């Protein structure tokens, strides 16, 4: 068995069974191995940002790593922006990056680059395999590193001759380090804070925001009156009717400061203290009030579910209803002209149960979370690292991870253009993704930031740099060009009809909503 | 004057008058400065790979740097693949990368990343500005670094507070280091080699491949019988009737070895010794024969034009015609069914004078150079670093640099999908670019490499990873989606008509050629 095959077989043994890829010459032996190991599902992307964003979406929903397979330094570089987002999402990913044969590197052929240098900034684990007999073991260690809580990016660089040489051995997968409960002192401190009666919030992240972790957090909130917060850049939030109320900290600093002003006690469960995305002249970056006591109950990677369940057991419920989203009386479906509020309401009214919502709607999406709080239970995936161009790839990965569920991908037009190639993968794999493009023909967030920074009003040339409407992007043409059925809607009625059709049918759809 | 304005004014003072950009919040003060400094032309790209590839194309044709303006680490990362190509092209580029305000970095906000780590691998000059009073000087030094022969990438990281603080000063541009002639010994050695009468070739690069450098090389070839070679990945080659015959070293190792077997003496002018792109099991990476004497006449950045003129003066012409491309008797325009040879012939027959040809046609383009050797004089720009997805961005930059010339962009379909967003910039700026997409619906180069690597025949899953035809990409829809008029041609007659119309009209066109 050559190195390549031992690596792929090791990955499958470690339950890594999806490979998102855009391979090149130096990865051909790995591709040949994929031919022989049919337990691995291969998903092709036409651009590497699709590949890495899909690996992120897959990990968020499957709660285990997939692997990417990328071509040398430039292929990796094309995937870096979404790896940045994935590293901020704290999800597990195993990157396989091809490299020239070891003896070829010295010639500095055109495609030679320092792959480790490109991978290092966001790879918590990074190694270049040095021989075929060890690459299985390297793969096994990469899986363990990726699965080590809270979820990490592990990058394995595979020289072509290591892949093609004989002597490969499938490796046993070592145990993943067990997540540890925080110290008793840390838990006691949180209990004391929750007993003061002062307004207190738990800022949750990772698996504290869905499943058993969220349920336990909900019991704490119910028993103590504490609020539950999520960071603005949320990896995965389970929400909807019957779920605990979790408020996302707003993106806009003034709104976040307003929310946090009332919170003299903040308990962090895996999360970092809230700060603004950007600095603004004369403003502080810290969003909590100076008097706020911030207690790190659980550091990143500690056992969030365990600690929340421990805490919840300490409190008996004060009320059984207080902190759960009530099932919304479903409002009548809005009709008439397109407005942002009307679109948000329509999404809230129409959202079926169990949908995975991917949200990169940017300025067009401000009303969406409020409008969907009481909709049937669903998952909400956000842009965790702020690098735009994540939504479509994330939707690809989520749909691959959960073939029985529908994905609703809400994206701004500017954002969607970074990685629009994902539409092709949706068509190729017949993924159940309904993409809604909010087409305001503008980098609207920049218009707002320009004023927020105190620069004044944009002059004609700045305004031109925010204007992506000349020429207008035609999303119906773009989608059809990549094999995705698409329509443009000009009323809320038409939007509702298209959204329902999309979520009821198999395969991808795209809806362009001109704003 | 704030730091941002002093930087932009310094760039203009240093003749950097084009800015290719996709800015974000942290660059808003630089955008505001662009509003005030109208001598800088701003060109927006919807994806950063377009921005950096355009900066490369601009530099190849304008022979001076433009600047990019990119958003933090992820914006830079999206541009890295084409910066890799640009670093291999040895062209001058000044990258401006926004960074969080210095005091904001410690909070590790979502978009925080190690920008210098991402920039370092291909930046020959790299600095983070530390105060407004120095950023003008930093910009001036970046320009000098970029312009230092043979042409380099200089990256200046601009923290937001450095940009927005007062105290900026426009800096004087220091002199660019003069290119040095190689040593007399090196020149004498080349003269001796050329006098042996043994078959000898000059492997040229940089400005030895166009203008006065190429003319001098042509005189040497005429006088001595030496052959002129260019590396396969050619930055800019001036060619066509009346120009010296320059043969590009083939991509396929067996063909390159065949060509170089007859050359016992190879003289390098800025170029590296020829090696294969990739390693193949059991084959050597070196393409020259073991007996070949390789002499580095000029190292990268030395004075190629000067040394070639010095050499040329040493020889009196032996014949006046021998090494010039003869004007091709223009063959009758091919008609009938589409074939690769027919397309190549059609391009050769129809190419008007002074066109800039951008070539990333990959396997579909093998006959193009032979078919155009005797066409009217033109420039030929290739993919210098092997990272595919360069053609459309390169065409954007070349067209911005040379508004009076037409650009013919020949691209494979797989390649074009990496950076198809460039079409939108072509439409927005009304660039004179005719893009021909050779749509073979396959990563055909990988099919070939798979066999060349001795892996055997692709199995069904490997074959699927090379197949980009399911669903078929519809380039007419894609182009129209981005505002570029487009047509699909199914005969050589229709191709000829569409190509002529494209090259005779203003603004962009796209021609899809299904293969």
DSSP assignment letter at B22: E
Alpha helices in A151-242, H assignment, sequence order: 160-164, 184-195, 211-224
Contact yes or no for A74 and B80 at CB 8 A: yes
Query: How far is B318 from chain A, CA to nearest CA, in Å?
Result: 36
Query: How far is A411 from chain B, CA to nearest CA, in Å?
Result: 15
Test mutation, B82, B109, B287, chain A, max A CBs within 10 A: B109
Test mutation, A19, A25, A38, A416, chain B, max B CBs within 10 A: A25
Distance CA B413, CA B435 (A): 11
B-chain residue closest to A430, CA distance: B471
Residues 6+ apart with CB under 8 A from B487: B476, B494, B498, B509, B510, B511, B512
Interface of B with A in 474-493 (CB under 8 A): 474-478, 480-483
pLDDT of residue B325: 78
- Is residue A287 scored above 60 in pLDDT? yes
pLDDT of residue A318: 58
Contact yes or no for A446 and B121 at CB 8 A: no
Residues 6+ apart with CB under 8 A from B174: B140, B141, B144
Q: Which residues of B touch A286 (CB under 8 A)?
A: 107
Number of residues that this document lists for chain A: 515
Q: Which residues of B touch A483 (CB under 8 A)?
A: 471-474
First-to-last alpha carbon distance for chain A, in angstroms, is 57
- Which tens digit of pLDDT belongs to each residue from A87-133? 999 999 999 999 999 999 999 999 999 999 999 999 999 999 999 99
Mean pLDDT of all residues in A393-417: 98
Residues 6+ apart with CB under 8 A from B37: B5, B8, B9, B12
Assign B322 a pLDDT band (cuts: 50, 70, 90).
low
Residue B499: which of B406, B414, B417, B423 has the closest Cα? Answer: B406
- Is residue A266 scored above 70 in pLDDT? yes
Mean pLDDT of all residues in A314-331: 69
- As a whole number, the mean pLDDT across chain A is 96
Interface of B with A in 178-237 (CB under 8 A): 233
Number of residues that this document lists for chain B: 515
- Which tens digit of pLDDT belongs to each residue from B361-383? 999 998 999 999 999 999 999 99
Q: Which residues of A touch B24 (CB under 8 A)?
A: 446
- Is residue B145 scored above 80 in pLDDT? yes
Q: Any CB–CB contact under 8 A between B404 and chain A?
A: no
Percentage of chain B beyond pLDDT 90 is 93
Mean pLDDT of all residues in A310-336: 77
Q: Least CB-CB distance to B104: which of A74, A285, A386?
A: A285
- What one-character-per-residue DSSP string does A333-401 give? PP-SS--HHHHHHHHHHHPPTT-EEEEE-GGGGTTHHHHHTTSSSEEEE--SS--S--HHHHHHHHHHH
Three-state DSSP class for B324? strand
- Is residue B5 scored above 80 in pLDDT? yes
Write down the pTM of the prediction.
0.97
Q: Which residues of A touch B456 (CB under 8 A)?
A: 32
CB B240 within 8 A of CB B370: no
Query: How far is B402 from chain A, CA to nearest CA, in Å?
Result: 22
Assign A322 a pLDDT band (cuts: 50, 70, 90).
low
Q: Which residues of A touch B286 (CB under 8 A)?
A: 107
Which residues, listed in sequence order, are joined to residue B321 by a DSSP beta bridge? Answer: none
**ipTM of the complex model:** 0.97
Three-state DSSP class for B364? helix
Q: Outline where DSSP puts E strands in A71-218.
A: 93-99, 125-128, 153-159, 200-204
Residue indicated by tokens 């961005």: B393
Mean pLDDT of all residues in B273-292: 95
The rounded Cα A336 to chain-centroid distance in angstroms is: 33
Contact yes or no for A387 and B74 at CB 8 A: yes
Mean pLDDT of all residues in B181-193: 98
Q: Any CB–CB contact under 8 A between A282 and chain B?
A: no
Contact yes or no for B38 and A110 at CB 8 A: no
- Two tokens at B419? 């950076």
Residues 6+ apart with CB under 8 A from B300: B90, B149, B150, B205, B206, B270
Q: Which residues of B touch A450 (CB under 8 A)?
A: 28, 31-32
Residue indicated by tokens 């490997």: B462
Three-state DSSP class for B148? coil
Contact yes or no for B100 and A279 at CB 8 A: yes
Residues 6+ apart with CB under 8 A from B371: B341, B344, B345, B347, B348
Kindly report whether the peptide bond that precedes residue B150 is cis, defined as omega within 30 degrees of 0.
yes
Higher pLDDT, A220 or B452: A220
Mean pLDDT of all residues in B444-451: 90
Q: Any CB–CB contact under 8 A between A449 and chain B?
A: yes
Q: Which residues of A touch B453 (CB under 8 A)?
A: 25, 28-29, 164
Mean pLDDT of all residues in A229-237: 97
- Is residue B439 scored above 70 in pLDDT? yes
pLDDT of residue B451: 87
pLDDT of residue A321: 52
Q: Give the per-residue SS3 of B386-442.
A: CCCCCHHHHHHHHHHHCCCCCEEEEEEHHHHCCCCCHHHHHHHCCCCEEEEEEECCE
- As a whole number, the mean pLDDT across chain B is 96
**Class of residue B13 by CB neighbours under 10 A (exposed 0-12, middle 13-18, buried 19+):** middle
- Which tens digit of pLDDT belongs to each residue from A333-389? 889 999 999 999 999 999 999 999 999 999 999 899 999 999 999 999 999 999 999
Q: Any CB–CB contact under 8 A between A108 and chain B?
A: yes
Which H or E run contains B357?
A: strand B356-360
Which residues, listed in sequence order, are joined to residue B31 by a DSSP beta bridge? Answer: none
- Which tens digit of pLDDT belongs to each residue from B201-215? 999 999 999 999 999
Q: Which residues of A touch B80 (CB under 8 A)?
A: 74, 77-78, 80, 118
Mean pLDDT of all residues in B67-89: 98
Q: Which residues of A touch B111 (CB under 8 A)?
A: 277-278, 385-387
Contact yes or no for A456 and B32 at CB 8 A: yes
- Two tokens at B315? 């020889």
Test mutation, A27, A42, A51, A84, chain B, max B CBs within 10 A: A84
Query: How far is B111 from chain A, CA to nearest CA, in Å?
Result: 6
Q: Which residues of A touch B424 (CB under 8 A)?
A: 417, 471, 473
pLDDT of residue B374: 94
Q: Any CB–CB contact under 8 A between B23 and chain A?
A: yes
Q: Any CB–CB contact under 8 A between B248 and chain A?
A: no
| Biggest distance spanned by C-alpha atoms of chain B | 71
Q: Any CB–CB contact under 8 A between A74 and chain B?
A: yes
Q: Least CB-CB distance to B275: which of A42, A107, A286?
A: A107
pLDDT of residue A455: 87
Assign B321 a pLDDT band (cuts: 50, 70, 90).
low
- What one-character-per-residue DSSP string does B432-497 give? -EEEEEEE-SB-HHHHHHHHHTT--S--HHHHHHHB--SSPP-HHHHHHHTT--EEE--SHHHHHH
Q: Any CB–CB contact under 8 A between B16 and chain A?
A: no
Mean pLDDT of all residues in A163-172: 98
Mean pLDDT of all residues in A202-210: 98
Residue B137: which of B11, B1, B2 has the closest Cα? Answer: B11
Contact yes or no for A468 and B44 at CB 8 A: yes
Query: How far is A219 from chain B, CA to nearest CA, in Å?
Result: 30
DSSP assignment letter at B21: E
- Two tokens at A502? 């999309």
Residue indicated by tokens 């149960």: A353
Q: Least CB-CB distance to B471: which of A21, A32, A424?
A: A424
- Two tokens at B169? 């000063």
Higher pLDDT, B320 or B441: B441
CB A220 within 8 A of CB A308: yes
pLDDT of residue B328: 72
Contact yes or no for A417 and B46 at CB 8 A: yes
Distance CA A515, CA A442 (A): 10
pLDDT of residue A326: 77
- Two tokens at B99? 């960074």
Distance CA B509, CA B515 (A): 19
- Which tens digit of pLDDT belongs to each residue from A501-513? 999 999 999 999 9
Other beta carbons less than 10 A from residue B441's beta carbon: 17
pLDDT of residue A329: 72
Contact yes or no for A101 and B36 at CB 8 A: no
């Amino acid at each position: 068995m050559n190195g390549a095959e031992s690596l792929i077989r090791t990955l499958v043994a470690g339950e890594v069974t999806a490979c998102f890829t855009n391979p090149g010459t130096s990865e051909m032996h790995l591709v040949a191995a994929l031919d022989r190991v049919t337990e691995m599902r291969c998903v092709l992307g036409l651009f590497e940002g699709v590949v890495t964003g899909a690996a992120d979406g897959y990990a968020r929903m499957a709660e285990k790593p997939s692997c990417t397979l990328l071509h040398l330094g430039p292929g990796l570089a094309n995937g870096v922006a979404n790896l940045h987002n994935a590293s901020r999402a704290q999800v597990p990913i195993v990157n396989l990056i091809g490299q020239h044969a070891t003896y070829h590197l010295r010639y500095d052929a055109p495609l030679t680059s320092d792959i480790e240098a490109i991978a290092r900034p966001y790879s918590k684990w990074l190694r270049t395999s040095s021989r075929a007999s060890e690459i299985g073991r390297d793969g096994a260690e990469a899986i363990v590193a990726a699965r080590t809580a809270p979820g990490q990016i592990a990058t394995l660089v595979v020289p072509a001759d290591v892949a093609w040489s004989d002597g490969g051995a499938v490796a046993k997968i070592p145990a993943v380090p067990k997540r540890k409960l925080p110290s008793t002192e840390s838990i006691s401190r949180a209990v004391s804070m929750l007993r003061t009666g002062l307004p207190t919030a738990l800022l949750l992240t990772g698996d504290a925001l869905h499943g058993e972790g969220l349920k336990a957090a909900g019991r704490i909130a119910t028993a103590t009156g504490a609020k539950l917060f999520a960071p603005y850049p949320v990896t995965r939030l389970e929400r909807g009717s019957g779920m605990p109320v979790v408020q996302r900290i707003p993106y806009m600093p003034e709104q976040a400061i307003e929310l946090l002003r009332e919170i003299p006690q903040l308990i962090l469960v895996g999360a970092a203290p809230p700060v603004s995305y950007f600095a603004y002249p004369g403003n502080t970056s810290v969003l909590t009030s100076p008097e706020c006591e911030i207690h790190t109950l659980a550091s990143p990677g500690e056992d969030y579910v365990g600690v929340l369940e421990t805490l919840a057991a300490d409190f008996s419920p004060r009320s059984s209803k207080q902190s759960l989203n009530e099932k919304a009386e479903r409002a009548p479906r809005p009709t008439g002209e397109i407005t942002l509020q009307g679109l948000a309401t329509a999404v809230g009214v129409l959202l079926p149960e169990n949908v995975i919502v991917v949200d990169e709607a940017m300025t067009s999406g401000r009303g969406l979370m409020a409008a969907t709080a009481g909709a049937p239970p669903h998952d909400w995936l956000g842009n965790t690292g702020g690098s735009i161009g994540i939504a479509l790839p994330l939707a690809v990965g989520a749909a691959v991870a959960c073939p029985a569920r529908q994905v609703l991908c809400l994206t701004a037009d500017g954002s969607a253009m970074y990685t629009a190639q994902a539409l092709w993968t949706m068509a190729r794999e017949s993924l159940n993704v309904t993409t809604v493009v909010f087409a305001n023909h503008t980098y609207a967030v920049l218009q707002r930031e320009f004023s927020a920074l105190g620069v004044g009003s944009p002059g004609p040339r700045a305004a031109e740099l925010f204007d992506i409407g000349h020429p207008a992007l035609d999303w119906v043409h773009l989608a059809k060009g990549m094999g995705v059925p698409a329509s443009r809607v000009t009323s809320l009625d038409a939007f509702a009809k298209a959204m329902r059709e999309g979520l009821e049918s198999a395969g991808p759809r795209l809806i362009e909503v001109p704003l």
